[in-house]
Amino acid sequence: MPQREITKLTLYGNTESGNCLKPRWIAELLGIDYDWVEVDIFAGATSAEEFLQLNPAGQVPLARWPDGRVLPQSNAIMLYLAETEDSLLVPKDTFKRAQMMSWLFWEQYSHEPYIAVRRSNLRFRDMAEADLDPALLSKGRRALGIMEMQLTYTDWLVGDVMTLADIALVAYTRVAHEGGFDLSDFPSVERWISRTESALGLPHANPAEGAAL
Ligand SMILES: N[C@@H](CCC(=O)N[C@@H](CS)C(=O)NCC(=O)O)C(=O)O
């Protein structure tokens, strides 16, 4: 990764990664000017000394500003960008904001480690279904079931409008089929995916799904 001059917000990420797309979608939605640096995570670019100096954790996404500040972690970057812009993607009501945070923590601990990892193993690491940890499927389906329960009753995960909770969770839910998850078992989740993709101006990730609702 060549040295570069940082003149505006710079997002280091990989476009195949849902975690990396989250802050990019926020920047697009809020009209924040940014540079995108594509990082080849599959070729070990995040382990290069130059990258580790920016983020010792060796992970993308990473946000960097001209004044030298850097911020890792997809959900933290989203939160910082949205709050700096005073966006309604973060509820003003402090309890609703905490509910949104609750989903963000849940996404990282109980959703992404199963759904994103199973997708990554199948799609990018060429692993055979038979070699995968069976818990990835059962725990991923459990996560989808929890979302289904909420989304049966509400259009959005928190309150009446799209928040960061929806954006964080749609990142890997919309491509869950690439990890072998059958979303037709979760019809409210499917409808919510269409709704959130439309709000973000994204194409439907799953060709088997119907039109936007
Ligand atoms: N909790 C982190 C996860 C970041 C993460 O797992 N990044 C992956 C891509 S999705 C990565 O950089 N992998 C390269 C590596 O670990 O070497 C976040 O939400 O930003």
Residue type, 202: L
In the predicted model, is pLDDT for residue 212 greater than 50?
A: no
Confidence label for 210 from pLDDT (cuts 50, 70 and 90): low
Omega before residue 113 within 30° of 0, cis: no
pLDDT for position 209:
67
pLDDT for position 118:
98
Centroid of ligand 1 to alpha carbon of 158 (angstroms)? 26
Which residues make Cβ contacts (< 8 Å) with residue 2, sequence separation at least 6?
none
| Ligand 1 pocket mutation, candidates 59, 115, 172, criterion most atoms within 8 A of CB | 59
Give the span between the Cα atoms of 66 and 166, in whole angstroms.
30
pLDDT for position 213:
35
Distance of CA 165 to the CA centre of its chain: 10
Domain-wise residue ranges, the chain = 9-84, 94-200
Centroid of ligand 1 to alpha carbon of 110 (angstroms)? 15
pLDDT tens digit sequence for 167-199: 999 999 999 999 999 999 999 999 999 999 999
Q: What integer is the mean pLDDT of 29-41?
A: 98
Given its phi and psi angles, is residue 180 left (phi above 0), alpha (psi -120 to 50 degrees) or beta? Answer: left
Share of the chain above pLDDT 70, in %: 96
In the predicted model, is pLDDT for residue 158 greater than 60?
A: yes
Atom of ligand 1 nearest to the CA of 72: 20
In the predicted model, is pLDDT for residue 34 greater than 70?
A: yes
List the structure tokens of 11: 């997002």
Give the span between the Cα atoms of 43 and 203, in whole angstroms.
28
Confidence label for 207 from pLDDT (cuts 50, 70 and 90): confident
In the predicted model, is pLDDT for residue 73 greater than 90?
A: yes
Q: What is the DSSP letter of 204?
A: P
Give the span between the Cα atoms of 97 and 74, in whole angstroms.
17
- Residue where the block lists tokens 């972690």: 73
Q: What integer is the mean pLDDT of 4-13?
A: 94
Q: Widest CA span of the chain, in angstroms?
A: 49
Burial class (CB in 10 A: 0-12, 13-18, 19+), 118: buried
Confidence label for 206 from pLDDT (cuts 50, 70 and 90): confident
In the predicted model, is pLDDT for residue 143 greater than 80?
A: yes
pLDDT for position 208:
76
pLDDT for position 4:
79
Q: Which neighbouring-strand residues pair with 133?
A: none
In the predicted model, is pLDDT for residue 144 greater than 70?
A: yes
- Measured between alpha carbons, how far apart are the two ends of the chain, in Å? 41
* Level-2 CATH architecture, domain 94-200: Up-down Bundle (1.20)
Atom of ligand 1 nearest to the CA of 60: 12
Q: Which fold has domain 9-84?
A: Glutaredoxin (3.40.30)
Centroid of ligand 1 to alpha carbon of 186 (angstroms)? 27
pLDDT tens digit sequence for 106-138: 999 999 999 999 999 999 999 999 999 999 999
- Residue where the block lists tokens 């809020």: 30
